[in-house]
Amino acid sequence: MLQTAFNALALGSVYALMAVGIGLVFGVLRLVNFAYGQLIMAGAYTLAIGSEHSWPQWASVLACFGVVIGLSLLLEVGLFRPLRGASPATMLVATFAVAFLLQSIALLKFGSLVKTASIFPGLFDPVGHGQFETVRKITIVAIVAAMVALAALTLLLAKTTIGLHMRAAAADFRTARLLGVRANEVVTLAVVISGVLAAAVAVILVVEDPFVEPQFALRDTIIVLVGVVVGGLDRLWTATLGGFAIGVATSVFTDELSSAHSVYVDSFVFGLVIIVLLLRPEGLFAPFRARTVERA
Amino acid sequence: MPEALLELDRLEVAYDGVPALRGLSLSVGRGEIVGLIGPNGAGKSTTLNAIMGLVPPRAGDIRFAGRSIKGRPPERVARAGIALVPEGRRIYPNLTVDENLRLGLAGRRGSGGDGVIESLRQLFPILDRYRKRPGGVLSGGEQQQLAIARALAAEPDLLLLDEPSLGLAPTVVDAVFERLAEIRERGVTTLLVEQRAQRTVAFADRTYALANGELRGIFGPADAGNTDKLVAAYFG
């Protein structure tokens, strides 16, 4: 029971971080970045390469952040910026293309066999004895890392001028620009923060599952994308809660279903998603609005 | 006429090939309040959008303080010293009144933003009273005051107002024009787009009448009572 609760909180936290990363970029660009999972994959491969070449662990982590942030900036300058103002469908298809491109590059470069990334192996040890023997240190680290990252982001958005500009740009980009808010500055910051979160997720996921292959984090990204839509993509906090909720649901189903039935985890999760969308199409956590009454 | 701050030179704008402005030329002198009137679809808002860089001109030029600003993105136009109070006010409903006001500082050149915000709170006392309230709960008139104050926070050289009285009750319109008169006292150069023709002609130093994207006449305050002349400009 304790293990299930901690696992659920941990996966919910990781998915919440991914949801923030996706939600931030969506907020300022109205772009659903389907290639987000491949940024995490690139970070994971960097950790695996570091492991292969016996780099110090801090150097591997630093390189992971560098590669993911660099790729994010490359996407912004090479793709998002030229496509700014294009239709959401065009931008979505473009990120699909990037996702498959990055995945294919990984396949060509590293092959389909897994690479092992041994990073902070001590974090896989149990937290303690007795009841806590089944709870791993990485579970606690994931929860704490998510809380710290979300608190830092909340402070940035609430207390700084650039945070105010980002909130304004997310709500109404055109008016923000008319007021003098620098579009490129705000978008670049959102992309960089999104990249930092993707790198952090890559490190956490690699500690939990050190086997890196071209489809690394792909399933997680699809689940999180569904989660942010279920939560409500229009607001960052509802998207984050959506990511957290679907992470918790996935983890609970995974732990509670017997191993013979574990193949049905996704069926249960997406079945739940369909029910939620039928009952709350505007998003599970979107504010309730008074129903309008048609007048005769 | 004082030295020109804003000059539109044979400006042409089209939407999907349909002309919205046909060779519009006008100028706004430093310290002046200039009106721009005309019926719906005359090209008034298009003129302001073209100045702010929201729509690309097909031909002609826009000069501000002697330099062309044609083709500049909106944030660069704002940071050059032009502030727009957009049609419909475009207040951020989920941000507080204070946050909405502070957003106006984004277009400001130089420091001293806190002092400006304080002086604006004195000019618009309602903004001081409702500092922590979300912008969305203010009434239409209060939102209009917030939108004007937000634009003034940048201490612009030129203020563009797009139909500030639209959708407001007559008494609230009076209050808005009183505020505009106070702004005039501060010497802020203003281009005022309005549908209330007579009131605008009486208020502004000079008023241009537009119809179908073309200039149809120029009026002084003395023409405010000349209904025939105004009607001829609209429909002639």
The CATH code of the domain that includes B234 is: 3.40.50.300
Q: Which of B72, B92, B150 to mutate to test the interface with A (most CBs of A within 10 A)?
A: B92
B21 and B36 assigned to the same domain: yes
Classify residue A287: in a domain, yes or no: no
The answer for B79, left when phi > 0, alpha when psi is -120 to 50, beta otherwise, is alpha
- Mean predicted confidence (pLDDT) in A37-46: 97
Which of B136, B155, B174 corresponds to the end of one domain? B155
Which pLDDT does position A65 carry in this prediction?
Answer: 98
Residues B137 and B27 in one domain: no
Mean pLDDT of B146-175: 90
Q: Which residues contact A62 (CB under 8 A, 6 or more apart)?
A: none
The answer to whether residues B186 and B223 belong to one domain is yes
Regarding whether B168 and B77 lie in a shared domain, the answer is: yes
Same domain membership, residue B124 and residue B97: yes
- B169 CB near a chain A CB, below 8 Å? no
Domain containing residue A61:
2-216
Gyration radius from chain B CA atoms:
17
Residues B10 and B70 in one domain: yes
Q: What is the mean pLDDT of chain A?
A: 89
Q: Please report the number of interchain residue pairs, chain A to chain B, with beta-carbon separation below 8 angstroms.
A: 60
* Segment B170-223, tens digit of pLDDT: 888 888 888 888 888 888 899 999 988 899 999 999 999 999 999 999 999 999
Q: Which residue from B73, B99, B102 is facing A177, i.e. has the nearest CB?
A: B73
Whether residue A296 lies inside any domain: the answer is no
Instruction: Note whether B92 and B122 are same-domain residues.
Output: yes
The helix (run of H) or strand (run of E) holding residue B36 is: strand B33-37
> Which of B106, B134, B155 represents a domain boundary (last residue)?
B155
Smallest CA–CA distance from A182 into chain B, residue: B75
Q: Which domain holds residue B148?
A: 88-155
Same domain, B163 and B148: no
Give just the sign of the alpha carbon dihedral A79, A84, A90, A92: positive
Among B85, B89, B84, B58, residue whose Cα is nearest residue B71: B58
Which residues of chain B from 37 to 76 reach within 8 Å of chain A, CB to CB?
52, 54, 73-75
Residue of B nearest to A168 (CA): B92
The Cα B163–Cα A12 span in angstroms is 49
Residues B222, B170: one domain?
A: yes
Residue A286 pLDDT more than 80? Answer: no
Phi, psi of A241 (to 5 degrees): -65, -35
Domain end (from B100, B120, B155): B155
- B114 plus B9 within the same structural domain: no
Amino acid, single-letter form, for residue B59: A
Task: Tell me, yes or no, whether A75 lies in a domain.
Answer: yes
Q: Is residue B64 located within the same domain as residue B139?
A: no
Nearest to B6 by CA among B38, B48, B42: B48
The answer as to whether A54 is a domain residue is yes
A175: nearest CB among B79, B90, B94:
B90
Average pLDDT estimate for B152-172: 89
How far apart CA B80 and CA B72 sit, in angstroms, is: 10
HEC secondary structure over A198-233: HHHHHHHHHHHCCEECCCCCHHHHHHHHHHHHHHCC
Give the pLDDT band of residue B236 (cuts 50, 70, 90): low
Number of structural domains, chain A? 1
Q: How confident is the model at residue B111 (pLDDT cuts 50, 70, 90)?
A: confident
Domain count, chain B: 2
Which pLDDT score, from 0 to 100, does residue A290 have?
46
Residue A166 lies in a domain: yes
Residues of A with CB below 8 A from B108's CB?
Answer: 180
Q: Do B54 and A174 touch (CB under 8 A)?
A: yes
Residue A277 counted as domain residue: no
- A176 with B154: Cβ contact below 8 A: no
The answer to whether residue A151 sits within a structural domain is yes
B111 CA: distance to closest CA in chain A (Å):
14
What is the C-alpha separation between B41 and B33, in angstroms, rounded? Answer: 23
**With an 8 Å Cβ cutoff, are B107 and A164 in contact?**
no
Distance CA A18, CA A243 (A): 7
B23: left (phi over 0), alpha (psi -120 to 50) or beta: left
